[in-house]
Amino acid sequence: MKKIKMGIIGVGRLGYEHACNIANRVPASELIAVTDKDNEKAKRVADELGAKFYATPEELCADPEVQAVAIVTNTDSHVDMIEIAMNAGKHVFCEKPLAETVEKCKRGEKIVEAHPELIFQLGFHRRFDYSYAVAKEKLDRGDIGDVVLVRCYSQDPIAIIEGTLEYAPRSGGQFIDMSIHDIDLIRWITGSEPKKLWAIGGCYEFKQYKDWDDGDNVSCLIQNENETMAFFYAGRAAAHGSAVETEIVGTRGTLRISAVPTDSLLEVMSEHGVCRECYQDFVTRWHDAYVKEMEYFCDCVSTGTKAHPDVYDGTKATNIAFICKESFLENKLVDVVYK
């Protein structure tokens, strides 16, 4: 049993989660190298998790011991990091979204294509959540017949609204930052691509989103090439918590994931009635999925199997998110044409 020796580039909130998982929760991996543009933080994390510190991604990737790299930097540096890592011969796990423009995504594709011997995986972690995995299995087994409609909700909790607002201007906007997960789910579940879509929304409470050409709440109706329908909604400030709900309506049944986004098996009976408390925090919500996707990545590396979601999933989702934004800004129905 040889563990895959991994390095990590970027140990912000989610990067630190991945670092801990690679070090302590994923049986097949060990963390041996850490870097972050905040060198002090990188040193602390390296120290805490028993890994080497490197001042730059280039140095980390030059370490011949490192077999694979997890990239958890800002979106706009993803493709550069992929390039550095793959050119150094490392397998790559890269957080979503692939890049902040479709052009950059295309460049990412080229880099990945240039290294067919290396594993590349994009971090659309929801596919690895247990509830989603079970749903997909039931769907593939025919339990609910054919897909008719996919409905996706993604809401951040009001509890973290200050951080949300602070990050918003450089997030790429609701479609690129948040809904891209739902766009990936819709592609994954329907096995099809959008044909036409119409996205709408507005600034219902936080008027500042207008300045960023964005809305605090947006939604989109999609007609897929295989005629399945999809609807997604994304909000910035749900009172009840970090709520991601997905529903698959089939011709013979319906699957609903996280209709009550409860964080435990606890029901509280109080003057508010019978209540279930919800996740307040996306890292807690998806903790197991983050572990599972990394286990899968290590498995792909060990066995030399092509990983999914792949680089093209990254480009497609980004492309669709941009078309959503175009539809939203111009308030028109758009025919989806991939660049």
Nearest Cα neighbor of 190 from 223, 221, 143 is 223
Spatial separation of the C-alpha atoms in residues 61 and 46, rounded to whole Å: 15
Q: Check residue 176 and report its DSSP letter.
A: I
- Out of 88, 149, 161, 165, the only residue in the binding site for its own copies (CB under 8 A) is 149
Binding part of the chain for its own copies, among 66-74, 165-173, 183-191, 249-257 by CB under 8 A, reads 249-257
**Residue 330 makes contact with its own copies by CB under 8 A:** no
Subset of 222-241 contacting its own copies (CB under 8 A):
223, 227, 229, 231, 233, 235, 237-241
Among positions 61-100, residues that touch its own copies (CB under 8 A) are: none
Angle at 163 between CA 92 and CA 208, to 5 degrees: 115
> Using CB under 8 A as the criterion, what x/- string covers residues 21-60 for binding its own copies?
--xxxxx-------------------xxxx----------
Interface segment toward its own copies; rule CB under 8 A; list 16-24, 33-41, 82-90, 106-114: 16-24
CB of 101 to its own copies, least distance (A): 27
Tell me, rounded to whole angstroms, the distance of Cα 188 from its chain centroid. 13
Shortest gap between Cβ of 117 and its own copies (angstroms)? 28
Q: How many chain residues bind its own copies (CB under 8 A)?
A: 79
Under DSSP, the state recorded for 307 is P
And the tokens for 164?
A: 């949300």
Which residue lies nearer to its own copies by CB, 35 or 219? 219
Of the pair 79, 222, the CB lying nearest its own copies is at 222
Q: What does the alpha-carbon distance between residue 142 and residue 312 come to, in Å, rounded to a whole number?
A: 27
Which has the closest alpha carbon to 316: 99, 113, 154?
99
Q: Which two tokens stand for residue 257?
A: 């994931």
Taking alpha carbons only, the member of 208, 126, 125 closest to residue 164 is: 208
Residue 57 or 194 having the CB closest to its own copies: 194
* Residue 10 binds its own copies (CB under 8 A): no
**Among the listed residues 88, 118, 148, 165, the single contact to its own copies using CB under 8 A:** 148
Could you say whether residue 138 binds its own copies (CB under 8 A)?
A: yes
Report, in Å, the least distance between residue 249 CB and its own copies. Answer: 7
Whole-number Å distance between alpha carbons of 139 and 40: 47
Q: Which is nearer to its own copies, 198 or 212 (CB)?
A: 198
What residues from 254 to 273 belong to the interface with its own copies (CB under 8 A)?
Answer: 254-273
Residue 267 and residue 177: Cα distance in Å, rounded? 32
Strands (E), 131-178: 147-157
Name the residue among 111, 73, 92 with its Cα closest to residue 7.
92
Least spacing, CB of residue 92 vs its own copies, in Å: 23
Stretch that binds its own copies, among 72-80, 91-99, 213-221, 314-322 (CB under 8 A): 213-221
Phi/psi at 279 (nearest 5 deg)?
Answer: -60, 135
The least CB distance from residue 331 to its own copies, in Å, is 7
Helix H or strand E segment including 218: strand 217-224
Q: How far is the CB of 106 from its own copies (least distance, A)?
A: 30
Angle at 250 between CA 249 and CA 253, to 5 degrees: 90
